[in-house]
Structure 1
Amino acid sequence: IMEGSLPLMIVVIVALCGAVPLPTPSQEEISKEYLSQYFSDVGVSAPNSIWRSSLDSFDDTLRKMQEFFGLEVTGQLDSNTIEVMAQPRCGYTDVTRYSHFAGNPKWRKPLITYRITQYTPDLNQRDVDAAIAKALKVYSDVIPLDFKQVYSGTADMMMKFKGRDHEDFAPFDGQGGVLAHAFSPGEGLGGDAHFDEDETWTLTSSGTNLFLVAAHELGHALGLGHSKVKTALMFPTYQYVTTEDYELSEDDRQGVQALYGARETSAQPTTKPDPNPKPTKMPSPKRQPNPEPDPEPTSEPPPDRCSRYLIFDAATSINGSLHFFKDGHFWKRGSSWDGISVEKIESVWPGIKKVDAAYEYKKTNTVIFFEGDHYWGINGNTVLPGYPKPISDFDLPSSVTKVDAAVYVPFTSRTLIFVRGKYWSYNEMLGRMDSGYPKTISIELSGIGYNVDSAFQNRGYLYFSSGFRQTEYHYERKRVIRTMLNNGWMDCN
């Protein structure tokens, strides 16, 4: 399951055997991970976040979880609470009754196409097709959406069975762990669903029932979040129920109809298309006297910000707004998240045609733009006097003729500078590089990739882009929080 560029995963936690013992340190750590993933206040955009002791109270969050599941609200890690935590479930955060994703993303056309690109050997292809069609039908029965399977090209919903790394930056973990995940409605990966091939997929109560998992995942792909109603398909925990004559629960139905409205069951097409339509005679166009040729375009149009393959040249915050640079243009996203504007770089900062890397140093109200073998100092919309200057000012070796990415880390007062698989740490206070650098990105910053194309800091987290994928990173803990697509910042839903 996935919200926007984010994976939301069905997780099976190993069941505890026999009597549940009193909490041990290992159980407490597992519980903290559980509460952080499903009940912390980080919101739906970061379901796989780590435990944030500085932001969340363990006891308070535990009480929220106990209240959600109808347990005695003690704020203590008692046996009943541990038992509920051990149940198989989906990895999406928990809410009351039905819910939708932030911004209520939904499909805005009546016919949604889907394609299964890789099948599981556990079932024959016909059975897989039937299970997916049945899962979609439980929704099309109650909302005015129709679904059509296609067998080539790019569909609205792309589905596949694959284990481990399956090219979406959220690798599966083998049998018995993550079962599947999907993406909420939108461009690119929006609506796609991936199923872990290491599971044993069945159509019965044994193994993992494909219809039930698919119906739950496709609920997320239509824009549904989780429900507190235990009989709902969108309830967090996975549980087998009979699939014969399956219908959505009242809560699921209300949730999906709140997005799409109700299907008029009595409505039928009033006419059928004529199998042999006669060509319509079009009026002859009036002769125009020697039209002038179309003028040449005055400037190159900006890149497509909603492309799933969008790669940033650079990214940084400037005076509270995020700026994303690409091919001589930049998109500006204000701190109020109220829209995206686009402009040419040179129209705002004359003399600067391209930005390879950028970072903001708030202590001096300066933004640094790297362009080739030199850099610029910026204050707001003003290029500071005395620039450009050579990048050798940063103690970079002479072999470095271009910087790939840079980001200032406030709590260390260091700027990380990335070049071809390695990075340096620049001490802003002393104006020199730290000793022991460069270091290898893939080793020291495990999980963000082998190269960094752009980097920026936002709300306490670092964001590293490698190609069109991006990693949200907790630098103090050296830990990946989640992965997404670059266009997740572009308000494309």
Structure 2
Amino acid sequence: MDNVIVIFITVLLTINCSALPITYDYEATENHHVEYLKEFGWFEEGTDDIDDDVDLSLKIEEFQEFAGLEVTGTFDEPTIEKMHAPRCGVPDEVTDRRRRDTFQGSMWEQTSLTYYIGNLTTDLEFSQIKEGIEYAVRLWSDNSALMFTEVDRRADADIKFDFVMKRHGDERDFDGPGKVLAHAFFPNEEKRGQTHFDEDETWLALTEQNDPIGTKYNVMIVAAHEIGHVLGLKHTSANTDSLMKPWPVGYHDNFHLPSDDVTAIQTLYGKPGNMLNVDLCSRGTKVQFDAVLQGPQQRTLFFSDIYYWEIISTGIKQGHPKFLFDLFPSHMAEQLAGMDAIVMSSKTHKIYVFKGDVFWRFDSNFELDANYPKLIIETRLPDHVDAAFEKDGQIYIVRKKKVFLFDEEEQKSSQVRKLKNVFTGVPKGLNAALTWTNGHSYFFKKDKYYKFDEDLGKVVDGYPKPIRGYWFCL
């Protein structure tokens, strides 16, 4: 059965004295609260009876920490109140909840998406629904490489918005006013892109505030949260600055996408300016690369953010750039985006990726080796390296003005030398380096590159040259 995302929207507005109070059933049995934890993923799927009170207490503590509550390990009043609060129905997962891990395990293959507004609500005019959804869509497109276009036919749409009620054909029936407000499907699901709003709710237009007692809901806020899931984002804890926490924020004027979500969506789809549509051969085009690899089967790969390009004898290989998840395990694309350096050993055919204070090792099929990643500090190398490349069986790591020789067998830095003494004429502050198929080493800085002559022991006269004209546009 498809994994459906179900959204509840909370209201974080001050309740004035005239508002009706919200009451909770604090006398509900412990079994009722345990069922809540099961429903939202705090026990492994398939768990039936909970016999161990210690295990239950630990699960309650995990939930309380995730929900931003005082950690007591008991179903106290604040915890029960939180359990009754409107929230998203997506399970909160039983993996590491402290990481800001946004990747759902899938994403759209393209950055240009279409959407269609289908069944409408009787609470709003079509123009009001359209305005709210357009605003929600722009929250994501204004902060990423994504582009959205509304279409007139359902069959042409990647994302479909519909107001429905009760049983509506996706095995997750709506339940009437309150509780479940909407749900959607992730990019890796058969019904991906489908987004349903419960027509039994009372929906408000873009500029209207959610009411304090939680019986009317701003359509833009619900849609924006849903779209985040449709794009592949999952939940964050209540302690994050995010629209994607299970208890979303309410509407306010000039609503902007929170910074945590900007980082998340850019990690998946890149920053504004769609690299998939950029012509690197156009005069004036400048792209700064994070890393370059002379890899398996003599493939030459340039990396920038979440993209990579393969370079062949005639320039850029057709069909590029591609996403990192087309090369590395898909669940690792988020972690590897914006890598500092990458290099392959000709001795072991292992591929090393460096980023920040950690490094990974992959086999020649780009599958992660066991016991990785590891901390760079364990290797006596500096973190945030500038470049990595191999020459004559030796791996070199460059950081600012220094070159470190990496002993692959010991996984340690064996020597440290000054860059100018080893590679005369090569500037500090590199972005990438490689030894190409012709045996020469090349060093890349911003949009230019340097060719090193091993016989002369210095950079070849006439360099640097622009990367665009000599690597991409031959």
Report the TM-score when normalising by structure 1.
Answer: 0.48
Report the TM-score when normalising by structure 2.
Answer: 0.49
